[in-house]
Amino acid sequence: MRMDEGKIFALLSALVLVVVIILSLSYVPKARLVPLVVALPTLTLTIGQILKEFGVIGQKKKDSNDSKDVVEESETNLKGYWMILFWIVLLIAMLFLIGFFPTIVLFMFFYLKLQGRESWLVSFLMPGATLIIVYLAFVFGLNIDFYGGLLFELF
Amino acid sequence: MAKSKFRYVFGSPNFLNSAKVVPLTNVMSLSASYIHPYGKRLNGKVIFMLEAIIQGFASVLSISVLPLMLLGVILGLIIGAIPGLGGAFALAVLIPFVYDMEPAQAFAFLLGAHAVIYTGGSITAILLNTPGSGPNAATLFDGFPMAQQGQAGRALGNALAASAVGGVFGAIALALLIPVIRPVVLAFGPPEFFMMAILGISFIALMGEGSLTKGLIAGGLGIIISLVGYDPMTGIVRYNFNSLYLYDGIKLVPLTLGLFAVAEMIHLALKGGTIAQGSIKSSTSGVLEGIKDVFRHWWLVIRCGSLGTIIGAIPGLGGDVACFLAYGHARQTSRHPEKFGKGYPEGVIAPESANNAKEGGGLLPTLGFGIPGSSSMAILLGAFLIIGVKPGPEMLSTNLDLVFTMVATLVFANIIGAVIGLLFAGTLARITNVRSSLLVPAVLVLTCIGAFAVECSMGDVAATFVLGIVGYIMKIKHYPRAVLLIGFVLGKIAELNLHLSMQIFGPTFFLRPIALILLITIIITLFSNQIAAFIRARREVRL
């Protein structure tokens, strides 16, 4: 089974726009004028797009993008999606829990070794080099105080 | 008082008296010749200006200033290339270093860095689809597709040469316009800002990647996203769902990094391989071709440079507007508008010449009235006060040499920045041939750092990745992300200035002369295709 991102995006857009319209109605006229002027026609167009995506109206467009769609079929397989989503969630979770510097080293190392199947040398060297560059440029040079991570700040 | 100070260039009778307060160095020995026995004041004024120009340029090239400017340029290129950081960040970070410097040194250092911020930002925009800062966002639309087609060298040549020429154009405009800019700036008020924002938004109609419906949906969503957070007109916080992070609204940096950088890395990770789809065209010849493109499209550079200078000079509009308007203008006036968005050099040249020219424009109100044209210029204004220089009309009589030091800094910094960039362009272009397994983790980490560094907010990091997933879906389903970005940048400006216009001028605010001209331009923009078809049909009937 394959996700249809077009349908998901159109449905989510419509949902967001409905929420915006409902919330706007509770604001004073000046605060709701522009949101309503923009959201109502956008919602109309989005509903039209949803109907098109579900094949209710018109023919789902098969044009020059057809060849791209073939590539998309193969590249947007569920396994790939979940894998990249896993890496992104892992990155954010690590950043929040252990902070920037340990995350830079650990995330890059694991990604290079497990996902990229790079050699041990590259998997060690690249995170190390990145850490040194980031430290020199941002901490030493630009004096930025990076987030230390929830775990380290608690203890 | 202020009026008389502005008049000196045009012939104030007290011109020579006011000129006496200018500290002249030995380089200015020419001055002896202008006090003619018969008092030919016109020659005197010209020579006085020439003195200040020569003094400004000589000062920048002196041994005590030039190395600092070079250092500033290098730092500016590096900071500019880091996603998310921008001109305001660069100035804020570098200001502590100027406390003990002479004014000429301080401005060469600060302006040297600030002048090339967008030059640096264009490099990552083209190679990694990751803009260094907001004004580089329009460079993505054609720069990155060129890199994907193996023409990264040519795109870099386009961007760097256009940046240099645009920057020099802005500096010259600064020198020429500073005495006369006052009425121009004052002619622009909320109705004109509103119309300019709507003009930018109207380009959405021209920018849909095939489907106009998808373009309009993306543009509408962009405007809605820009309205999240505190509304200064009513004091209401909109659509924040009780989240403290959303109180300030969604910021440009996480949105741009998410929509483009993260989305591109997700795509690359799933696709595998490299950014360049195919062989890379010989880098050096590509770069040279890119430089030639800029001179081939010299008229476009001048038009977009003028646009950038004017928008930069108008406080409140900002560089993001300049680059989008320049891009839209280039597309509208191009012989091949259908090629835009698919990797067309004009699409890189236009925004790059505008965003560097805007620096000269931004200095106009800052120096002329002490009113900063942007957040960067506000920080620069702080630097003026630290150094003990008072910006404003009197600066043109008491510190004219310093004004020309800034002009010279902009000229040299832009040229040096482009030369440094061009020297490394061939090598940098090879990044597009680095395999995804190496590029993806590096860019994701860099994106996190860029998103965090601007406001030290972990919320920005999280928002970047959420928007990245949205950006990826938009990319593969052909919803134009560029249009969403335009809607986002201009939506808030349009709303604020609409309310201000209604309050100050009433419902007929659009009848002000400049606003009316802009309204006509908007109508022409919206119906340009129909107008062109009508003209074509008429011609065919006649034949």
Residue B221 is nearest to which of A13, A91, A108, comparing CB atoms? A13
**CB-based contact, B377 to chain A, within 8 Å:** no
Q: Which of B239, B126, B492, B2 is nearest to A25 (CA)?
A: B239
Residue of A20, A43, A147 to mutate when probing chain B, most B C-beta within 10 A: A20
**CB-based contact, B221 to chain A, within 8 Å:** yes
Q: What is the pLDDT along chain B (543 residues), one digit of tens a residue?
A: 333 333 333 333 333 333 333 343 433 333 433 343 333 445 556 667 777 788 888 888 888 889 999 999 998 888 888 776 777 777 877 877 777 788 888 888 988 888 888 888 888 888 887 777 777 888 888 888 888 888 888 898 999 899 999 989 988 888 888 777 767 767 778 898 888 888 877 776 666 556 778 888 998 999 999 999 998 888 899 998 888 889 989 988 888 888 888 888 898 888 877 776 655 555 667 788 888 998 998 999 999 998 888 888 776 666 677 888 888 888 888 888 888 888 889 999 999 899 888 888 888 877 777 777 676 777 787 788 778 887 776 777 777 788 888 888 888 998 998 898 888 877 777 777 788 888 889 889 988 888 888 788 899 999 999 999 999 999 888 888 878 888 888 888 889 889 999 998 888 888 888 889 988 888 887 777 677 777 778 877 776
Contact at 8 Å (CB) between B481 and B262?
Answer: no
Burial readout A82-104 (b: 16 or more C-beta within 10 A, e: otherwise): eebeebbeebbebbbebbbbbbb
Q: Output DSSP code: residue A61.
A: P
Inspect the interface and report whether the beta carbons of B217 and A31 lie closer than 8 Å.
no
Inspect the interface and report whether the beta carbons of B478 and A72 lie closer than 8 Å.
no
> Which residues are bridge partners to B29 per DSSP?
none
Q: Which residues of B touch A6 (CB under 8 A)?
A: 477
CA distance B71 to A143: 18
Inspect the interface and report whether the beta carbons of A76 and B440 lie closer than 8 Å.
no
**CB-based contact, B445 to chain A, within 8 Å:** yes
Q: Output DSSP code: residue A65.
A: T
Q: Which of B154, B125, B119, B85 is nearest to B421 (CA)?
A: B119
Residue B445 is nearest to which of A23, A63, A104, comparing CB atoms? A104
Distance from CA of A56 to the nearest CA of B (A): 16
Inspect the interface and report whether the beta carbons of A147 and B452 lie closer than 8 Å.
yes
* DSSP codes, B152-193: HHHHHHHHHHHHHHHHHHHHHHHHHHTTTHHHHHHT--HHHH
CA dihedral for B312, B318, B320, B326, sign (positive or negative): negative
Q: Which of B307, B357, B455, B416 is nearest to B76 (CA)?
A: B416
CA distance B246 to B265: 26
**CB-based contact, A5 to chain B, within 8 Å:** yes
CA distance B444 to A107: 10
**CB-based contact, A98 to chain B, within 8 Å:** no
Q: Rounded to 10 degrees, what is the CA torsion of B380, B381, B385, B390?
A: 130
SS3 of residue A145 by DSSP = coil
CA distance B495 to A32: 11
Distance from CA of B229 to the nearest CA of A (A): 11
CA distance A106 to B467: 24
Q: Which residues of B touch A61 (CB under 8 A)?
A: 211
Inspect the interface and report whether the beta carbons of A137 and B78 lie closer than 8 Å.
yes
CA distance B297 to B200: 22
**CB-based contact, B88 to chain A, within 8 Å:** no
**CB-based contact, B488 to chain A, within 8 Å:** no
CA distance B420 to A38: 45
Maximal C-alpha separation, chain B: 80
